Amino acid sequence: MSGTSGGAQANHSLAFRVMRLCRPSLHVETPLLFDPADLLLGEDDSSSLLPSESLSSEDGGADLSFRSRFLLSDPSTASGLSGLLVLPQSFGAIYLGETFCSYISINNSSTFEVREIVIKAEIQTERQRILLLDTSKSPVETIRAGGRYDFIVEHDVKELGAHTLVCSAMYNDGDGERKYLPQFFKFIVANPLSVRTKVRMVKDLTFLEACIENHTKANLYMDQVEFQPAQNWGATVLTADMSLDEKNFTSDREIFKPPVLIKSGGGIHNFLYQLKLSSQESTQTRIEGSNILGKLQITWRTNLGEPGRLQTQHILGSPVPRKEIDLQVVKIPPAIIMHKPFEVQLRLTNQTERALGPFEIWFSGDANGELAFMVNGLQTMALPEIRALTSTDLNMNLISTKLGVQKITGITVFDSVEKKTYEPLPDLEIFVDLD
């Protein structure tokens, strides 16, 4: 990798050379079969040099005529893999989440040795400066004429954009002069993946879909695409239903999970997660306006096992509304008989940090005027003041008037002090039997 120097290179005895360390690639060549006789004579004359029986394939011999020279003697030859590995011929692309590893050599091209060499190597980005090597406390004693000093540096790439590898050396020249040599090696860090997310809410459940697209020129094998939920959230990955035979091997699949292949040049794969609050009590601890669901942890490997790791930013869901008062059903009877009274146990919770109330609670029924239930007793119930972050239970006595699946709807809470009506209790479906 070529770099730029901060001063005239001709005035320095030392120079840095940088090579990127990465795994080799497979050597692939297009199989091209030919007749060895073509190296000596043309095809028209080659048959005269060989016995006629050698051209026949009846005895298992090879057919060297023009029509068969491109026939493959073994199916494995079609892959073009020779079994050789090729070292990188260029610096190559560097992607976010990889580990940048570089082999650096400082060469003495003069005819005399240099002494007391202090070497520094650091990475500069738009945001920070990271020191990779510093020999200030233990300088290199000497580098002989024509010799070199080699070292390896590593850096986990966590930023996109322009990066500069700065290599510098302070040394005593042959005449005892103290010199300073800086060299700069620039490279660009690209994004290997793009992650697009969609969030959908279905009642108390939240579904997160993550679409991962491969922007590199190599296949990526996803070892892990894990969703790390925020506090009070639980996450479950959803996959296609397994057959009975596959379910018998669930324990084996948990021990060894095959990686997910995302092909090069725009290949995509979708992941689906189901999110749910860990408990009902956790709703009281939500921060007002907080809608952070969590983040994705992604690890992958390339064809020859080069690792990579990325973590997304916080994934946001729909804004969480802050309820001052929460009314919930705690208990209902397992069997409800028509025209017989039954009790519904309710719980009213104050989710604010101040006292609220007193309250009035009434049952208004269906908005269309069709009453499937009637109140057995007082039409309006009075509740005392509720302290901050506490709750109180109450029982409402009802009588059913219709058979089948019916909805209890219209239970409303009213603040007598603030003259404020809160959102009514969500509809509750129950089954009413005749006897």
In a domain, 50, yes or no: no
Contact 170, 118 (CB under 8 A): yes
Q: What is the pLDDT of residues 70-124, one digit of tens each?
A: 555 565 555 566 667 777 777 778 899 999 999 999 999 988 999 999 999 999 9
Number of domains in the chain: 3
Adjacent-strand bridge partners of 105:
17, 150
- CATH number of the domain where residue 16 is located: 2.60.40.10
- Phi/psi at 21 (5° precision): -95, 115
Are both 178 and 200 inside the same structural domain?
A: no
Q: What is the CATH number of the domain that holds 211?
A: 2.60.40.1230
Q: Please indicate, yes or no, whether residues 167 and 302 belong to a single structural domain of this protein.
A: no
Residue 264 has which token pair?
Answer: 């090069």
The Cβ of residue 315 has, within 10 Å, a number of other Cβ atoms equal to 22
pLDDT at 245 over 90: no
Per-residue tokens: 290: 């907080």
Q: Locate tokens 């997304």: which residue? A: 312
What distances in angstroms separate CA 297 from CA 273, 294, 312, 313, one per listed residue?
A: 13, 10, 7, 10
- Cis omega (within 30 of 0) for bond into 358: yes
- pLDDT grade for 302, boundaries at 50, 70 and 90: confident
Residue 183 burial (CB count, 10 A): 24
How does the average pLDDT of the chain come out, rounded?
81
**Structure-model confidence comparison of residues 182 and 61, the more confident one:** 182
Query: Residue 60: inside a domain, yes or no?
Result: no
Token pair, residue 101, equals 């590893």
What is the spatial distance between Cα 312 and Cα 328, in angstroms, rounded to a whole number? 36
Q: How many CB atoms lie within 10 A of CB 121?
A: 25
Enclosing H/E stretch for 44: helix 43-49
**Same domain? 14 vs 97:** yes
Statement to judge: residues 239 and 278 lie in one domain: yes
Rounded mean pLDDT of 336-360? 90
User: What is the pTM for the complete model shown?
Assistant: 0.61
Residue 40 falls inside a structural domain: no
Residues 240 and 343 in one domain: no
Residues 153, 272 share a domain = no
What is the enclosing helix (H) or strand (E) of 295? strand 292-301
Which residue did the predictor score with more confidence, 111 or 241?
111
What is the reported pLDDT for 352?
86
Last residue of a domain, one of 316, 346, 371: 316
In a domain, 49, yes or no: no
Please tell me whether residues 200 and 255 are part of one structural domain: yes
**Helix/strand/coil percentages in the chain, nearest 5:** 10, 50, 40
What pLDDT shows up at residue 287?
Answer: 44
Q: What is the structure's pLDDT at 180?
A: 93
- Please name every residue paired with 350 in a beta bridge, in sequence order, or none if there are none: 325
Amino acid, single-letter form, for residue 155: H
Instruction: Count CB neighbours of 182 within 10 A.
Output: 16
Q: CA 432 to CA 153: how far, in whole Å?
A: 75
Beginning with the edge strand found earlier in the chain, give each strand of the sheet holding 148-156 in spatial order: 14-20, 99-108, 148-156
pLDDT digits (tens, 9 = 90+) for 145-177: 999 999 999 999 999 999 999 999 999 988 888
Name the domain boundary from 294, 316, 338: 316
Print the domain residue range for 358: 325-433
Q: Are residues 13 and 106 in the same domain?
A: yes
Looking at 156, 190, 224, the residue that finishes a domain is 190
Quote the tokens at residue 150. Answer: 């080699």
Please report which helix (H) or strand (E) contains residue 207, including its range: strand 205-214
Is there a domain that residue 37 lies in? no
| 249 CB neighbour count, 10 Å cutoff | 11
Q: Are 12 and 159 found together in one domain? A: yes
Q: Do 358 and 213 sit in the same domain of this protein?
A: no
- Phi, psi at 245, each rounded to 5°: -65, -40
